[in-house]
Structure formats: C-alpha cells, structure tokens
Chain A
Amino acid sequence: MSAPGQISVSPSRRGLIAGCWAALPVLLAVAPFGLIFGTLATEAGFDLAQTMAFTSLVVAGASQLAALQLMSDGAPALVAIIAGAVVNLRMAMYSAAIAVHWQGLRMAWRIPAAFFLHDQAFALSLNRYRAHPDESVADRAGFYFGIGVTTVTVWIGASWLGAEIGTRIPAGWGLDFAAPACFIGVAAPMIRGTANVIAALTAATLAVVLAGLPGGSGLIVAAAAGIAAGMIAGRRTARRAAPAMEPAE
C-alpha cells in the first residue's frame, strides 16, 4: 500500500488476471450488443472505417445507438452529440464513485482507465471493491484494467463482425427491433423502486408527447422532467422511510 498522498501506484498483474476472468460472463452481453451496433451503423450508411472509429473511440453502446438513431432521422450533428453525451452523463457518477478506490494511482494509468469506464466495468469493479475492502490499490486497478481490456477488445471485435456480416442478416430476424431491445435491456435492470418508476414513466410519456419538437429537443425536456419527478418522489419516500426525522403530529 502507498503512503497517504503518494501518487505512484500501478495496476498489478495479479489484479489484471482476476479482472480478465471476472469479465467473461459479461462478454455474453457485450458481444451481441457490439454485433448489433456494427450492423445498424452499416445499415445507416457508415462505412467500415467510420463504424470502427465510432465504436472504438466512444465505447458506449447506448449513446452510439442514440446518436445513430438521431442522425438517421436527419438531426444535425450537434444534436446527436448532445443526446449521446446526455446518455453518458451517468458515467460522471461512475467516475466519482470509482475514483475514491484509486487513491495514489498514477496519472499515467488514470488517463487510459477513463477510456473504458462503462456500465459493466464499473459494476463489476465496485462489487469487487466492496467484497474485498482490504485489497491494495494496485490489485484494485489491475482488476479494473483486466475487465476493461477484455470487454473493449470483444466490443470492438463484435462491432467489426456486425459491420462485415450484419447486413446479410435476413429481414425476418427482427433487426429493426434490435435497437429498442438493447436500450430496454440496458435500462430495465436499473429501474428499481417507486422513484425510479415515476422518473421513467414521466420521461417516457413526455418523450412521446413532445416527439414533434425540433432537433430531438423533446428528449432533453422529457429527461429533465423525469429527473425532477424522480427527485421529488425519492425525497418523499426518504421522508417516509425515516419517521424519526418528522415532527410528531
């Protein structure tokens, strides 16, 4: 372990190997999602270089699909970028939560680490850190890099395969439902508790009602209203759950 304030830690090989193993089950989700992205990007008119640059540089499937969808609908580039970035805002939360566990990790490792802070890398790492609170920062960082390198390699490979063979998939295989199915797959496990349900229903309803607003701005308004509704509902639930804080009636 490093002394407080010392910034010299690098990921350990032991952690890296543990992370590679831990990533294996997640690849079952990463590979099909990448395959679908490669296929849909190619169908939308991306050439191979564009598909591969997109998937290798962004490494965030839901935002890539969201931007792709808006571009196919004829939205300007800036709107597609903003919508994709909004989808990825949750990663600021991941960044704050995971940084706490990396005290002393060298900047030379933090720069590549940020590159693949996706849902699965975050969730698997945090579970590991909570289960093994005494593990060194070197092992923790190694574990994270093991997951990241494994998942990103498969993600890029699967996207390439989708771009190469995806357009030969027959029409009856339901490819036009692949994007909504992926989005629902990502979102559904996160919707837990009353406040989240209220937030999700508010955003979904408003997004349908406001779909006619120009340049995809209905999406932003719907999401903002959903966030506000969720926060209000969440605070009410928290108050009810802590009756000791309420004055006696």
Chain B
Amino acid sequence: MSDTTIWTVITGLALATYLIRFSFIGLLAGRRLPPVVTEALGYVPVTVLPAIIAPMVLLSDGQIAADPQRVLAAVAALATGIATRRLLPGIIAGMAAFIALGQIGL
C-alpha cells in the first residue's frame, strides 16, 4: 500500500471518528437521538464486529476453509468473553488456545 493511501486513511478515519464522538457532546448538545436510531445504533457493535471476525476465522483466500486451529481458538475466545463479560479474558483465552493448538500440530 502507498504512503498516500496510508495518510489518507489516517486523516479520514481520524476526522470521521472525531465527528462521531463530538456529535452529541458538542454539535448537537442537548438534543436526543430519535428512538429508532438509538435502537439501530445499539446493534452496530454486535453486527459490525462479527461481520469482520467471521471471514477472518472461516475464510482462506476467499474460500471457506475451516482451519481447526483458528475455529477452535475463536470459540475459546468467544465463550470466555461471553462468560466473563470482559475484554481481556477473551483475548487471552483465544491467544492461549491458538498457541496451544499450534504446539500440538493442529
């Protein structure tokens, strides 16, 4: 990737992210979102992130390839994250499972 692409993404994503954060703190201070928008936004993290994760775990070169090491490590991270409701245990469980499964040759 070129330097121009990298700096364009840095600038564009920094501006977009800042405006999203500043929206109701500053630009629209005192206003509230319409209920249907709040409802939809509530589902953004639980849809966008799984939509990024699933292809990373299940695809290889655009083809479905259920590599047991990746799939089982993902299941370990998911189960731990849901059970503990915290960020770090899920990441650690996923990485530990991935490394352990790699050691036993999966």
Listed in ascending order, the chain A residues whose CB lies under 8 Å from chain B are: 28-29, 32-33, 44-46, 50, 53-54, 57-60, 62-64, 66-67, 69, 71-72, 74, 76-78, 80-81, 84-96, 98-99, 102, 107, 110-111, 113-115, 117, 120, 172-174, 177-191, 195-196, 199-208, 211-212, 218-219, 222-223, 226-227, 230-231, 234
Cβ–Cβ < 8 Å partners of B87 in chain A:
29, 33, 120, 185-186, 189
The proximity string for B residues 7-21 relative to A, scoring 1 for CB distances below 8 Å and 0 otherwise, is 111111110111011
Q: Once bound together, how far apart are the Cα atoms of A178 and B73, in whole Å?
A: 11
Cβ–Cβ < 8 Å partners of B73 in chain A:
177, 181
Listed in ascending order, the chain B residues whose CB lies under 8 Å from chain A are: 1, 3-14, 16-18, 20-26, 29-30, 32-33, 38-59, 62, 64, 70, 73-74, 77-78, 80-82, 84-88, 90-91, 94-95, 98-99, 102-103
Whether the Cβ atoms of B88 and A95 lie closer than 8 Å is: no
Whether A184 touches B16, Cβ cut-off 8 Å, given contacts A95-B25, A99-B24, is: no
Whether the Cβ atoms of A99 and B90 lie closer than 8 Å is: no
Chain B residue with Cβ nearest A54: B10
Cβ–Cβ < 8 Å partners of B49 in chain A:
62, 87, 183-184, 186-187
- B18, B38, B41, B43: which contacts A199 (Cβ < 8 A)? B43
Whether the Cβ atoms of A178 and B10 lie closer than 8 Å is: no
Whether the Cβ atoms of A93 and B47 lie closer than 8 Å is: no
Interface of B is mostly: helix
Whether A180 touches B20, Cβ cut-off 8 Å, given contacts A67-B9, A187-B50, A190-B45, is: no
Whether A32 touches B17, Cβ cut-off 8 Å, given contacts A72-B1, A208-B64, is: no
Whether the Cβ atoms of B17 and A102 lie closer than 8 Å is: no
Q: Shortest beta-carbon distance, B73 to chain A, in Å?
A: 6
Q: Shortest beta-carbon distance, B72 to chain A, in Å?
A: 11
- A44, A58, A76, A184: which contacts B13 (Cβ < 8 A)? A58
